A and B are shown apart, each in its own frame.
Chain A
Amino acid sequence: MMQRSDCINGTLPFECSMEICGSEMEDKDRMQNRTPLLELKGITKSFGSFVANDHIDLRVYPGEVHAVLGENGAGKSTLMNIIYGMYKPDSGTISINGEKVRIRSPKDAIRHKIGMVHQHFMLVEVLSAIDNISLLEDDRLFVPRDRKKVKERIEKLQQQYHIDVDIESPVEQLGIGMQQKVEILKLLYTGADVLIFDEPTAVLPPQECDSLFEIIGNLTAEGKGVIFISHKLDEVLRISRRITVLTRGRVVKELDASEADREGLVRLMVGEDIDMQIPDHREGTAGEVVVSARGLRARDKRKVMTLNGVDLDIHAGEIVGIAGVDGNGQTELAETLAGVRHAKGGKVFIDGTEVSTYSPRTFVRNHIQYVPADRNNIGSVPDFPLYENWLLRNYDPPRRGPIIDYHKVREEAAEAIESYDVRTRGVDERTAQLSGGNLQKFIMARSLRETPKLLICEYPTRGLDIRAAMFIREKIVEAKKAGCGVLLLSGDFDELFSLSDRLIVMYKGKIVGERRPEETTVREIGMLMMGGAADGKAD
């Protein structure tokens, strides 16, 4: 475990020595009573009887990254919405540079030099970065914009903060990481001194995170204050100087990053010890081959051939982890093996019999279950009540003649909700109302209703809080122990290493390496993901 996290740090291009070594200096700063850029005192906000924020204090000093850490529902978003003027606090004060202010709207926040990088980007997709930013310039009609001036200013900001992004192309043609940089530029253009990043890495592939962290480093080096919201501990430990931990709307602790460690933070966030370790499950030997692919090829949504000839055997009772940068064919592999995408070449065998990928029915009937990455629109129909979503991908619901026995269906769904601890008002609740963790538990329950032959999990814990993620992982291991083959796609190295029996790395639609997790390192897998040779040298 230790060795592994060493490796994570080893791959960092960006060294975070500046923040960590600076803790003595920082104490001096505090003693000198440097005014914080932003100071919250006793912020309280309740919705009805629910107290979302309970007397929260938070100070952000120039040149530092202040992380706000907490589980889903701990009150992070509420707090940020208060800072950004979307909610009005019930009590408490906000000061900027030592002066008390009132922030009534996002416009006010911008005026007070507070900017926010939302999880959902606020960009007009068909416009270029320049045009998006010049929209901020002037909102009077019929006043021609001085595009050249805007462009010059943006370029200057780009140089100052080393933000490398194409500002001429329409935003929709840029990758997610690039769009995020446009958002940052937008905030800098408004002159923001305090930048709030709301779970910025949730949307990014791993290699783009590094470049985001570099930019955040440049921002603080220039004296900006950064609030970094996340529930990913490694990131928080890596880039922040101060950490405030929220639990159930309260600050449980504010501490220096240098005195924090993973285990301590988890305890603070969850409020108790939870076992982060998956119990060792790698004793038994794998069984027969349940599903295999030979020379499998498939095209993605854009009709680009992203899966280019994959040979793979999945045995009963083993977890095969697939690592790869997004868009290297993993999704298409998962979908083809789940029977929801047609193969454009190659063969799929279930229990040694060749099957056509044009018949999804065969896959469902053979108990191949699939937990898709998009749980809201693919894994469930948002407008359906839970008991109806219980029937999705189920070709054999309880029936009397042609009529579905909904009474029994509701009972089944209610039982599953109970045993998987899905927090909901009942089976009649619309699925769209469920939080990510609860919905994923529900989908897991549905998929494991009858022990499937093969369980395909695509980013099963993405965006979930620690508890829910651990729950899902335990269920995956349970399924494996019950003799189910598991194909696990994940972007989380901890997850891949602790769950997989075999790790397979995909690059450009092909398998470029297979390792046993106990015999490899994150560094090696990372190199393979980037298309590098196995000995660690990139080509």
Chain B
Amino acid sequence: MEKQTEEKQDNKSAFGERISRLHEEGFAKKLLIILLSVFAALLIGAVFLLILGVDPFTAYFYLLIRPFRSFSSIGELSIRLTPILLTAVGVSFAFSAKLSNLGGEGQICLGAIGMTLVGTSALGESLGAFSLPLGMAAAALFAALWAGIAGFVKSFFKASEIITTLLLNYIALQLLSWCVYYPLRDPEGNIPQSAKIAAELPRLFEGSRMNLGIIIAIAAMIIYAVVMYRTRFGFKIRVLGGSPEAARYAGIKRTRYYIVIMCLSGVFTGLAGAIEVAGTQTRLLEGLAGSYGLTGVVAALLGMLDPIGVTLSSILLAALESGSEAMQVKTGVSSLFVNMLEALIVLFILLGMSLISEPGKGLLRKKSAGREAKA
């Protein structure tokens, strides 16, 4: 009985925190900037649509509303959402520590390779449906190690993770190509792709491609929220992101944490690759990572690394991507139009954030007093 009331209190205070954060000036400002940015991007997009002679309302209907209209279209949305959400969770861990993990694409590739290796092996065949968790574990491990490379060279050689994760992407893409052309190539087919894996993720409903992956993605988001905002580990990650000097003061070993955080980041992006193989494609093929790597980064930043924010922005981006094909078919506007919208949204947000950020970060740097300047 006592425990129950305690829990209730806890929930209440957690809710109170969220409310008070929403009331905070900075938070409200950021939210406003994001909404305005989306709106401005759509507005500019509308100009281009008009130039193409397409009614913007029709186009935006297919892009933003249609994906939510029917059962099967929500299913299509969900299979786009899964990898975006998982990648966003993965990179959010890194971004929370001010580590820019731009290597989502490469880590997805590695995850996909891991899943395929297990799924097409004799062991995988014999395990049947049980090959799925094993494949996911392999995917998480592969991608974690891959991302860990960037964390390692950051910690020990001070190499910028922005550069290393991007470069690792190219290597991973080539590695995936090599895999589908040579060792993992389906011996019975002529196209460069792997054989079908032993088991697929079960579908959740009849008449929709929605599969178990979306549940895993949502679970990952919940894990992210709890770890980040309720555990000491998450607290340390956020201290590292908030002020590296304060982290040193608090006795947090930066080198160790950078590696651990990058690996953790890779676990989730790797899962995105595994689920893309096991849920959607059923086999390994080139171009499987698509643009999910960078879309995940956009979702994470758009949602300000906040669990709910990231979820909402992932849904928006997934809708844009799944609606883009319908829009192309119905209105003749290339689906690449969506990339332009995404780019515009990011640009506007960066612009808005730089307007509200504290002054004195430009050329005329404010020299603050004494030791603080050196710090």
Contact = CB atoms under 8 A, between A and B. Distances in A.
A410 B367 contact: no
Contacts of A355: none
Contact of B249 (A119, A121, A393): A393
Contacts of B24: 428, 430
B334 interface: no
Interface in B230-248: 230-232, 235, 238-239, 242-243, 245-246, 248
Interface in B205-250: 226, 230-232, 235, 238-239, 242-243, 245-246, 248-250
Secondary structure type dominating chain B contacts? helix
Interface in A358-387: 360-361, 363-364, 370, 372-374, 376-384
Contact of B375 (A326, A364, A378, A392): A378
Interface residues of A, number: 52
A409 to B, nearest CB: 10
A55 B214 CA distance: 66
Given A406-B13, A430-B26, A378 B249 contact: yes
Interface string B241-263: 01101101111110000000000
Given A203-B369, A391-B235, A406-B13, 19 more contacts: A120-B360, A120-B367, A122-B364, A123-B364, A125-B367, A331-B371, A340-B251, A364-B251, A377-B246, A378-B249, A381-B239, A383-B242, A388-B238, A392-B250, A395-B251, A407-B13, A428-B20, A428-B24, A430-B26
B365 interface: yes
A403 interface: yes
Nearest to A172: B367
A326 B230 contact: no
Given A176-B370, A384-B242, A407-B9, A372 B26 contact: no
Contact of A326 (B21, B226, B248, B370): B370
A393 B251 contact: yes
Contact of B369 (A119, A372, A407): A119
A121 B373 CA distance: 11
Contacts of A124: 363-364
Contacts of A202: 369-370
Nearest to A458: B371
A122 B374 CA distance: 17
Given A120-B368, A121-B367, A392 B246 contact: yes
Contacts of A372: 249
Nearest to B247: A381
A418 to B, nearest CB: 18
Nearest to A204: B370
Given A120-B367, A202-B369, A430-B26, A402 B231 contact: yes
B55 interface: no
Contacts of A106: none
Interface in A280-337: 301, 326, 331
B2 interface: no
Interface string A393-418: 10101010011111100100000000
Contact of B371 (A374, A382, A391, A407): A374
Contacts of A463: 369
Contact of B245 (A179, A374, A405): A374
Nearest to A383: B242
B371 A373 contact: yes
Contacts of A430: 24, 26
A370 B371 contact: no
Interface of A: 119-125, 176, 179, 202-203, 301, 326, 331, 338-340, 360-361, 363-364, 370, 372-374, 376-384, 388, 391-393, 395, 397, 399, 402-407, 410, 428, 430, 459, 463
A485 to B, nearest CB: 19
B163 interface: no
B191 interface: no
A389 B275 CA distance: 38
A172 to B, nearest CB: 9
Nearest to A363: B251
Interface in B31-57: none
Contact of B235 (A377, A379, A383, A388): A388
A381 B246 contact: yes
Interface of B: 9-10, 13-14, 17, 20-21, 24, 26, 226, 230-232, 235, 238-239, 242-243, 245-246, 248-253, 360, 363-375
3 pairs of A and B residues whose beta carbons are closest in the complex: A360-B251, A381-B242, A203-B369
Contacts of B10: 405-407
Contacts of A125: 365, 367
A382 to B, nearest CB: 7
A374 B26 contact: no
A361 B249 CA distance: 11
16 contacts: A120-B360, A176-B373, A364-B250, A376-B372, A377-B372, A378-B243, A384-B238, A388-B235, A392-B250, A397-B232, A402-B231, A403-B226, A404-B231, A406-B13, A407-B13, A428-B24
A410 B9 CA distance: 13
Given A125-B367, A377-B245, A377-B372, A403 B250 contact: no
B352 to A, nearest CB: 18
A240 to B, nearest CB: 22
Contacts of A404: 230-232, 235
A392 B238 CA distance: 11
A119 B360 CA distance: 14
Contacts of A379: 246, 249
B13 A340 contact: no
Nearest to A302: B374
Nearest to A127: B363
Nearest to B363: A124
Nearest to B374: A301
A179 B284 CA distance: 62
A370 B249 CA distance: 8
B232 to A, nearest CB: 6
B230 A380 contact: no
Nearest to A341: B248
Nearest to A392: B250
A178 B230 CA distance: 48
A331 B370 CA distance: 13
A326 B373 CA distance: 13
B243 A382 contact: yes
A339 to B, nearest CB: 6
A301 to B, nearest CB: 7
B369 A392 contact: no
Given A120-B366, A340-B251, A393-B250, A374 B372 contact: yes
B243 A360 contact: no
Given A382-B242, A397-B232, A428 B17 contact: yes
Task: Find the residue from B245, B250, B372 having the highest chain A CB count within 10 A.
Answer: B250
A179 B245 CA distance: 25
A340 B367 contact: no
Contacts of B245: 374, 377-378
Nearest to A376: B372
A340 B248 contact: yes
Contacts of A120: 360, 366-369
A373 B373 CA distance: 12
A436 to B, nearest CB: 11
Contacts of A376: 372
B14 to A, nearest CB: 7
Nearest to B11: A407
A514 B17 CA distance: 51
A410 B370 contact: no
Given A124-B364, A404-B230, A407-B10, A392 B249 contact: yes
A331 B375 CA distance: 12
A120 B375 CA distance: 15
Contacts of A179: 367
